[in-house]
Amino acid sequence: MELNRLYYGDNLTILRRYFPDESVDLIYLDPPFNSNASYNILFKEPGTGGEQSAAQITAFDDTWHWTSESEQTFQEIVKTAPATVVNLMTALKDAIHRNDLLAYLTMMCIRLLELKRVLKQTGSLYLHCDPTASHYLKILLDAIFGKENFRNEIIWSYRRWPAKQENFQRMHDTILRYSKTEKVIWNQLFEPLAKSTLKADGGNKILNVFDPDTGKRIRGKKTGEKSLGAPLRDVWEISVIAPTAKERVGYRTQKPEALLERIIKASSNEGDVVLDPFCGCGTAVAVAERLGRRWIGIDITHLAINLIKGRLKDNFPEIAFSVVGEPVDLAGAEALARQNRYQFQWWALSLVDARPFGDKKKGADTGIDGFYYFNDGGTTKKAVVSVKSGKVGVSQIRELNAVVEREKAEMGFFLTLKTPTAAMKEAATGEGFYLDSFGNKYPKLQLFTIEELLNNKSPDTPQKVGLFESYRAKKSKG
Ligand SMILES: C[S@@+](CC[C@H](N)C(=O)[O-])C[C@H]1O[C@@H](n2cnc3c(N)ncnc32)[C@H](O)[C@@H]1O
């Protein structure tokens, strides 16, 4: 199994196809669950031939329904899973019946069984969820991993603007930590001592306030070295990502790096393999890279894969990694476009390192599929990117030009699966050039076929700039 790899696809299929038994040291998963009702960035296109898997549609929808696939998976669990798991799932079916929740738990159960298979004997699994389903997931994990391997229920506590409601404000997520066996990779983390404790103990000049062997507190041992603090509690106060934070990449469900940093540091060592099978915009992957771990990420949308690719390339310019499941030739690109136009757009944008723009909501057409940024004499400037998988014509070039003007962008890139006509090329040339601050000329509108991009053609612009540069500085600090 190759490492430092992103897989596009349903994690169940990917795990079964590519992952040997006991090959991963740490798994962090943050699956979707009704957390974002407006997560409908995608919807099934009419007339696409129904090639999408139910898991794929559901992932975009972020809602779960009992379908024939749920029934099939449930039966597979009954036939193949250990008795404890079968008993639990059957009891749940009797108690809650074949409803949306059971559909969700069935989807999770089959994947958690597979994740346990790929976890090494010394490995840990962290399941990130919220109070909607954490109580069900905990009994499911008890059945799969054995309740003796339950290690922690971590509360990630945060603050955000409160909503008006007749409840206490819900301001925490739950992270369930399980080990595969009693022997588990573990690095104790510490948190600063309370000011009052430090004062009583004579400032922070005490080494190891806790004896690492006995875990007991050593009082009054003043060595002149700084205290490590107290062993970290299971309630973690970590702020949500601020709107202006450097690490923000614009993915709705993005988790803070500080959270992943604790998990990865505590439960893996340098060189270990970290897997995130629902990797979103790649927080676990990026933090694993920064901390010198090897990593694997899986996601079912090209939006996520596109963002992670950008995030990694910008923050670790020297990095080598591979992506499995993306089109590698024209036929593959055509198949993706037939399957789902939005998946195709997100993937195509990554061919020019452009960032997807906003969410695809039904009916909203801004004429912008993505933005590409470049540096002109110290100022960041942008190009509008438009992606077409269907028929193309000269009116689309005029439209792109109008969008470039409207957005006060400098350039426009037109990415097309079909070959552009001579009239389209002429119309693009007719819009002239962008002149940078050094007097260099760049065609204002640039047309690319997907085939050309697959053959490494790239936009002609001043120096491209990355969007997610937060790690570079952090990494160089060590
Ligand atoms: C809550 S987000 C994860 C966010 C991530 N922790 C981060 O910081 O960006 C869940 C992700 O799981 C992906 N997903 C949902 N179902 C999936 C499946 N069956 N296989 C792979 N990925 C899936 C979604 O596309 C989404 O990006």
Going along the chain from its start, the domains and CATH numbers come out as 5-186+233-324 (3.40.50.150), 190-231 (no CATH), 351-454 (3.40.1350)
Helix and strand numbers, DSSP H then E, in the chain: 16, 18
Pocket test for ligand 1, best of 279, 296, 346 (most atoms within 8 A of CB): 279
The finding on whether 299 has its CB within 6 A of some atom of ligand 1 is yes
Distances (CA, A) of 454 to 32, 337, 343, 372: 32, 15, 17, 18
Can you give the pLDDT at residue 366? 79
The finding on whether 60 has its CB within 6 A of some atom of ligand 1 is no
Q: Which amino acid is at 21?
A: D
Task: Take atom 2 of ligand 1 and give the residue whose Cα is closest.
Answer: 280
The finding on whether 384 has its CB within 6 A of some atom of ligand 1 is no
Can you give the pLDDT at residue 207? 47
Distance 163 CA to ligand 1 centre (A): 26
Maximum separation of any 2 CA atoms in the chain, in Å: 84
Using the structure block, give the residue that is written with the tokens 């014509």: 393
Can you give the pLDDT at residue 396? 96
- Counting atoms of ligand 1 from 1, which one is nearest the CA of 128? 6
Using the structure block, give the residue that is written with the tokens 């690109």: 333
The finding on whether 436 has its CB within 6 A of some atom of ligand 1 is no
Distance 175 CA to ligand 1 centre (A): 16
- Counting atoms of ligand 1 from 1, which one is nearest the CA of 283? 8
Distances (CA, A) of 364 to 41, 47, 359, 361, 400: 11, 20, 9, 6, 16
Q: Model pTM?
A: 0.88
Can you give the pLDDT at residue 44? 26
Q: What is the DSSP string of 26-37?
A: EEEE----SS-T
**CA atoms of 191 and 230, how far apart (whole Å):** 5
Task: Take atom 18 of ligand 1 and give the residue whose Cα is closest.
Answer: 10
Coil, strand or helix at 323: strand
- Counting atoms of ligand 1 from 1, which one is nearest the CA of 249? 9
Distance 58 CA to ligand 1 centre (A): 11
- Counting atoms of ligand 1 from 1, which one is nearest the CA of 301? 25
Contact at 8 Å (CB) between 224 and 204?
no
Contact at 8 Å (CB) between 470 and 247?
yes
**CA atoms of 118 and 298, how far apart (whole Å):** 14
Pocket test for ligand 1, best of 108, 299, 324 (most atoms within 8 A of CB): 299
The finding on whether 343 has its CB within 6 A of some atom of ligand 1 is no
**Cβ of 67: how many Cβ atoms within 10 Å?**
14
The tally of CA atoms less than 13 A away on the side-chain side of residue 6 is 29
Distance 6 CA to ligand 1 centre (A): 13
The finding on whether 59 has its CB within 6 A of some atom of ligand 1 is yes
Whats the size of the chain, residue-wise? Answer: 478
Mind listing the pLDDT tens digit of every residue in the chain (478 residues)? 778 999 999 999 999 999 999 999 999 999 987 544 333 333 222 222 333 444 443 445 556 789 999 999 999 999 999 999 999 999 999 999 998 899 999 999 999 999 999 999 999 999 999 888 899 999 999 999 999 999 999 999 999 888 888 999 999 999 999 999 999 999 999 988 777 766 665 555 554 556 667 766 666 555 555 667 788 999 999 999 988 888 888 787 899 999 999 999 999 999 999 999 999 999 999 999 999 999 999 999 898 998 899 899 888 989 999 999 999 999 999 999 999 888 999 999 999 999 887 655 444 567 899 899 999 998 889 999 999 999 999 999 999 999 999 999 999 999 999 999 999 999 999 999 999 999 999 999 999 999 999 999 999 999 988 766 434 434 444 3
User: What are the residues facing 442 on neighbouring strands?
Assistant: 434
Contact at 8 Å (CB) between 126 and 151?
no
Report strand pairing: 119-129 vs 24-29: parallel
Q: Can you list the alpha helix ranges (DSSP code H) found in 119-192?
A: 134-145
**Cβ of 19: how many Cβ atoms within 10 Å?**
22
| ∠ Cα 164 42 410 (to 5°) | 95
Q: What is the DSSP string of 348-417?
A: HHHHTTPEEPS---TT---S-SEEEEEEETTEEEEEEEEEE-S---HHHHHHHHHHHHHTT-SEEEEEES
Coil, strand or helix at 138: helix
The finding on whether 300 has its CB within 6 A of some atom of ligand 1 is yes
Distances (CA, A) of 296 to 45, 299, 369: 30, 10, 28
Burial letters for 440-462: b for 16+ Cβ neighbours within 10 Å, e otherwise?
eebbbbbbbbbeebeeeeebebb
Task: Take atom 22 of ligand 1 and give the residue whose Cα is closest.
Answer: 299
Can you give the pLDDT at residue 408? 94
Q: Under 8 Å CB-to-CB from 165, ≥6 apart: which residues?
A: none
Pocket test for ligand 1, best of 115, 249, 253, 468 (most atoms within 8 A of CB): 253
Q: Which amino acid is at 266?
A: A
Can you give the pLDDT at residue 352? 94
Distance 474 CA to ligand 1 centre (A): 26
The finding on whether 461 has its CB within 6 A of some atom of ligand 1 is no
**CA atoms of 155 and 221, how far apart (whole Å):** 33
Coil, strand or helix at 169: coil
Distance 11 CA to ligand 1 centre (A): 9
Tokens linked to 156 = 């990630």
